[in-house]
Amino acid sequence: MLRIENVSAQYSTIKGPVAAVRNTSFDILDNEIFGVAGESGCGKSTLLKIMYDLVQFPLTLSGGKVVLESRPEGGGQPLRLESGNIPKAWWKYISYIPQAAMSVLNPVYRVDEQFYEIIKRHHGGAQSKSQMREQLSEYLTELTLPVDILDSYPHQLSGGMRQRVVIAMATFMKPSMILADEPTTALDVVVQRNILMMLMELQQKMGNTFVIVSHDMGVHYQITKRLGIMYAGTMVELGPTQELFEDPLHPYTQMLIGALPKVGDHRPKEGIPGSPPSLRQPIVGCSFEPRCPKRMEICRRVDPPFVQVRSGRCCACHLVPPQQ
């Protein structure tokens, strides 16, 4: 449904460019929940912005493109848009829940006014306020959210409720694809669970595609079907979530999963020593080489390509041979 083709992007800064996303390619399939994981600063949010085509200064796309394809159910014109044109599909085909979404609500407007803006954008003001209100109330009830939140200002709602409102806004036009950046970060575990349940129920009901960015591997394990692991601005491993947890191939994924606490396992957990490379300097060889316990001589010189290594599994590591 969304094809990311050799995408590279950088931020212009006074100290020089930051290569936040480097030569990344993968596909998002119809009706799946796809996860993107990786440590802070590895480019997850930037990748999502590129997928949504929200590329504004200081961010620029330095190579590649994203292709959005959508076939409406029950026939109708199929949609095919490339980077630069994807905003035409915003809200109706693809919507985006930004990181720290709770704070994207406008503090001086009531929640209903903020919903009306979305409806007006698509129906050109053809509907009256009472019609919009009725439609909204029905939708909130469907999501088991109290209808009176429509009369609240954002500051009158709890953080968890604000997050639900933003999710409701992003899904209101029933888009085929929803990109959610850290939808549960900064929420306590109970609210986090409720939000995850809400996302999963929505996905089951609407059959749309979700892309969830999170550095929380527990979140990915619980809800995503396929998972991509990013490191230093690029994808280093991708595969079905369950398989990736049971049999990680890239040393970074192995260490990331090895560091997770497990019930009944009392062995001391080891972190990943060192820190990711600076994205300001060009990276020569494999970006994980300085921290990799399995590094070889070639890793310092040659950046391993991100290739299919088994059916449905891709990896960028010299230790994992490509599928023949």
Ligand X SMILES: Nc1ncnc2c1ncn2[C@@H]1O[C@H](COP(=O)(O)OP(=O)(O)OP(=O)(O)O)[C@@H](O)[C@H]1O
Q: Where does this chain bind ligand X (CB under 6 A)? A: 11, 13, 18, 20, 38, 40-46, 58, 99, 215, 279
Spatial contact of 80 and 67, defined as CB atoms under 8 Å apart: yes
Residue (176 or 234) nearer to ligand X, CB: 234
Residue (248 or 276) nearer to ligand X, CB: 276
Residue (99 or 152) nearer to Mg ion, CB: 99
Q: Say which DSSP state 175 is in.
A: -
Residue (150 or 279) nearer to ligand X, CB: 279
Class of residue 178 by CB neighbours under 10 A (exposed 0-12, middle 13-18, buried 19+): buried
- Site mask for Mg ion (CB under 5 A), range 76-115, x = bound: -----------------------x----------------
Residues 6+ apart with CB under 8 A from 103: none
Residue (20 or 118) nearer to ligand X, CB: 20
Query: Least separation, in Å, of the C-beta of 210 and Mg ion?
Result: 17
Residue 41 interacts with, from Mg ion, ligand X, none (CB under 5-8 Å by kind): ligand X
Residue 285 interacts with, from ligand X, Mg ion, none (CB under 5-8 Å by kind): none
Residue (145 or 170) nearer to Mg ion, CB: 170
Give the orientation angle of helix 189-206 with respect to helix 159-171, to 10 degrees. Answer: 10
**Does 185 participate in binding Mg ion (rule CB under 5 A)?**
no
How far apart, in whole angstroms, are the C-alpha atoms of residue 256 and residue 206? Answer: 33
Both tokens of 14, joined, read 């006074």
DSSP structure string for 76-111: ---EEEETTTGGGGBTTTEEEE-TTGGGGS-TTS-H
Residue 309 interacts with, from Mg ion, ligand X, none (CB under 5-8 Å by kind): none
Residue of minimal Cβ distance to Mg ion: 45
Query: Least separation, in Å, of the C-beta of 110 and ligand X?
Result: 30
Spatial contact of 154 and 162, defined as CB atoms under 8 Å apart: yes
Question: Footprint of Mg ion on residues 281-310 (CB under 5 A)?
Answer: none
DSSP structure string for 5-47: EEEEEEE--TT--EEEEEEEEEEE-TT-EEEEE--TTSSHHHH
Residue 58 interacts with, from ligand X, Mg ion, none (CB under 5-8 Å by kind): ligand X
Query: Least separation, in Å, of the C-beta of 257 and ligand X?
Result: 18
Residue (44 or 226) nearer to Mg ion, CB: 44
Query: Least separation, in Å, of the C-beta of 228 and ligand X?
Result: 12
Cα–Cα separations (whole angstroms), residue 116 to 58, 124, 160, 306, 307: 31, 11, 22, 44, 45
Torsion, CA 310, CA 311, CA 313, CA 314, rounded to 10: 70
Query: Least separation, in Å, of the C-beta of 44 and Mg ion?
Result: 5
Query: Least separation, in Å, of the C-beta of 18 and ligand X?
Result: 4
Residue (42 or 320) nearer to Mg ion, CB: 42
Residues 6+ apart with CB under 8 A from 95: 170, 171, 173, 175, 177, 178, 179
How far apart, in whole angstroms, are the C-alpha atoms of residue 70 and residue 318? Answer: 36
Query: What's at 295, amino acid-wise?
Result: R
How far apart, in whole angstroms, are the C-alpha atoms of residue 60 and residue 233? Answer: 14
Among 8, 10, 45, 203, binds Mg ion (CB under 5 A): 45
Q: Give the interface with Mg ion as residue ranges (CB under 5 A).
A: 44-45, 99
